[in-house]
Structure 1
Amino acid sequence: MADELELLRRADPVPAHGPHYGDGPLDHNAERRLAALLNERPAVRRRPRLVWSLAAGTAAVVTVLTLLLSGPGTTPAVAAPRPLTIRADATPVSLTELAERAARAAAQGQGAPKLRKGTHVQSWSMGMSDDKPPVTLPEERVVRWKADGSHSELVVATDPRHPGRPVLRDDGGAPHLVEDGHVLTRHTYPPSWSDAPPESTPPHDAARLRAYLQEAAYTRTPLTTPELLDTIDELLDHWTLGARESAALARILANTAGLRPVGRVTDRLGRSGAAYEYRSAGTRRLLIMSPSTGQVLGLETVFTKADPQYGVKAGDVMDYSAWMR
């Protein structure tokens, strides 16, 4: 559906949340909260897992899909994306310096981006099961809000790494191909309002924004760095931050333990960014930010240890989100 994909590409960013039916599948935020309640490892439960109805023929099916998607001599589209390449920088931008740059950009005011409710995001997530090969499921989502509080959400299957080529999906319990730009879901939701984060408007003061994120994480204990990054992920799935909010967020990140500058990257949408790394047991989180405005461009999670139970190798990308204005 080329027309649908073009509509999505031109859409103004605005939030991506909405009521979920009680008997429907959990979204990735609900999966993450459930994992926290069950004290599960986030590497396993953070994203939905595939449930395939295939038996011994699964490996052969995936091989056929790989050939269909790639053709001779090309990189298979089924394979997980490679981690972003970090280019060493003799003088990497510290988060403190980045926060100061973001504050100056916000202070200029004239022409600075404004806060908008909603999001436009390209994402890749690894689907896993106990005994089937993992596959990466790419999609793009945009949500538009209207003045009366109603909103619409459009989700399409597309992968900018392979424009125009078929995309692998697992809908219906079995892996299959759909055309680039295939509409996965299209919903319109009636007016609704909430005064609880992350539905409510985020503040543009660093101290108040930190309290807002704390409340959005449903905990009274200080957020760990991984919890903060998860909550920022959720925030950006609801809001497109303006210059002042981005500056406040950069200030919070500058005072966050364990995040260190590692150099420059070109993200999966071709944008140049400053990269900040956080390592924990089994994973590496890479936060990509605009070096001039402090806007969060993307967040990547990579496995640093193999997990044979799920067919995961060290260096596999678990998930990646690229947010757009």
Structure 2
Amino acid sequence: MPDELELLRRANPVPHDGPHFGDGPLDQRAEWRLDRLPRQPRPTRRVSRARLLWGLAATGVVLATAFAALVGGPNTQPALAAPRPLTVRADSTPVPLTRLAELAATAAADGSPRLRKGTHVQSWSLSMTDGKPPVTLPEERVVRWRADDSHTELVVATDPRRPGRPVLTDEGGDPRVVADGHVLRRATYPPSWSDAPPEAPPPHTPAALRAYLAETVRTDSLDTPRLLDAVGELLDHWTLGARESAALVGVLADAEGLRAVGQVTDRLGRPGQAYVYEGEGGRRMLILDPRTGTVLGLETTFTRDAPEYGVRAGDVMDYNAWMR
């Protein structure tokens, strides 16, 4: 196994032989992009993660067909990557965001853990090339900052639900199968001293953090879709401490249309409370730690068919799982 993947796995608090990965106990992203999606021309290349990963989802049958074409032959054992939407436990009790904000504030009383610049995230993003079925691309990304304000980035193709099995990637614009842990990008960046969000440290009071998030997505009106966009941007730059997580839950508690739906198990096997926002054509589910309010994941799924793109209601557009 590649050394880089082993380092990532050791950084992951959830072991590969832990509780059921995947889709729960049967268990970046913006509404305006969803609104524009049916009216836009068919994309001809993968939309980059920096542009919020709004690639398109594949159904299981389409993925199996795509893999058969890629790796050749009905006897091949492909590593199907498309996740199903997370499922809320039917017997669970939703925890209101106001109550979770209280729990998070209590958990943050000692100030630990502390804020850290950098991120560790596993993503399942969807890509489509003109004339080909859409496919799901699982990646793990670790960004670490140094004392001199330079930073490193490591991105590998891996799916923790199926450790050791081949993984799809679209390096060069064409989907292909690579070994688990294949390095997609390894880079070192020079020092950066930007004092603008999301590079600047996030504050740890709800009012100040709300203003910070609005500046992050460059808006004067931080509605719920833009707020969820900003949360994704924030967590792609920072690993929040207890106080920042508590402040974030306080901001989310005031978000219109973000409703508690109950308990889920995320794709890294972690229990969480789910909060859903329904937009036109898409549903966004935010998963929070039930004790600390830490953001565990953010999932976007289609709520109606888009046959022109080869997707159906229930297909997952993207999913990000953040780790410490």
In the alignment, what sits opposite 1:18? none
Aligned to 1:259: 258
Shift in alpha-carbon separation, 1:230–1:43, aligned structure 2, 3 A: farther
CA contact (8 A) 1:70 1:77 kept: no
2:283 corresponds in structure 1 to: 284
Letter of the 2:317 counterpart: M
Describe the shift of the 1:60–1:217 C-alpha distance in structure 2 as closer, same or farther (beyond 3 A): closer
Checking the alignment, whether the CA contact within 8 Å between 1:132 and 1:310 is kept in structure 2 is no
Matches within 5 A, 1:99-178: 99-109=101-111, 112-178=112-178
Q: How many equivalent residue pairs? A: 294
The TM-score normalised by the length of structure 2 is 0.83
CA-atom RMSD, angstroms?
Answer: 2.9
Contact 2:282 2:302 in 1 (8 A): yes
Assess if the C-alpha contact under 8 Å between 1:129 and 1:310 holds in 2: no
Q: Which residue of 1 aligns with 2:67?
A: 62
| Deviation of the 1:49 alpha carbon | 5.1
Residues 126-164 of structure 1: CA deviation (Å, up to 9, x unaligned):
112453211000000001111110110000000011110
Does the 8 A contact of 1:119 with 1:238 survive in 2?
Answer: yes
Indicate if the aligned counterparts of 2:245 and 2:295 stay in contact, CA closer than 8 A.
Answer: yes
Partner residue of 1:47?
53
Tell me the SS of whatever aligns to 1:137: strand
- Residue 175 of structure 1 and its aligned partner are, at CA, apart by 1.7
Alignment check: 8 A CA contact 2:12 2:323 kept = no
Q: 1:262, 1:66 → 2: CA distance?
A: 40
For residue 43 of structure 2, what is the aligned residue in structure 1?
Answer: none
Distance apart, 1:32 and its partner CA: 7.1
Q: How do 1:194-233 residues align onto structure 2 when only pairs under 5 Å count? A: 194-220=194-220, 222-233=221-232
- The answer to whether the Cα contact below 8 Å between 1:114 and 1:243 also exists between their aligned partners in 2 is yes
Cα drift, residue 41 of structure 1: 3.2
CA contact (8 A) 2:144 2:153 kept: yes
Render the CA deviation track for 1:20-47: whole Å, top value 9, x for unaligned: xxxxxxxxx6x979x86xx833997752
Amino acid at match of 2:201: T
User: Which AA in structure 2 matches 1:212?
Assistant: Y
Unmatched runs of 5 consecutive residues or more in structure 1? 14-28, 51-57
Aligned to 1:250: 249
The 10-residue stretch of structure 1 (280-289 or 170-179) with the greater mean CA deviation from structure 2: 170-179
Percent identity reads 66
**Aligned letter for 1:195?**
D
Q: Which runs of 5+ in 2 are unaligned?
A: 14-27, 41-46, 57-62
What SS does the aligned partner of 2:140 have? strand
Query: Deviation string for 1:238-297 (max 9, x for gaps)?
Result: 000000000000001111110111110010000000011110111110100000000000
Distance of aligned partners of 1:201 and 1:131 in 2 relative to their CA distance in 1, 3 Å threshold: same
Are positions 1:274 and 2:273 aligned together?
yes
C-alpha distance 139-324 of structure 1, shift in aligned 2 (>3 A): same
TM-score (norm 1): 0.83
Aligned to 1:156, what secondary structure does the other structure show? Answer: strand
- Contact map agreement 1:261 1:276 (CA 8 A) in 2: yes
* Deviations 1:144-194, CA, capped at 9 Å, x for gaps: 111110110000000011110010111123221110000000000111111
2:72 corresponds to 1:78: no
In structure 1, give the amino acid aligned to 2:86: L
Residue 182 (structure 2) pairs with residue 182 (structure 1): yes
- For the Cα contact (< 8 Å) 2:167–2:179, is it kept in 1? yes
Q: Residue 16 of structure 1 aligns with which residue?
A: none
- 2:98 is matched with 96
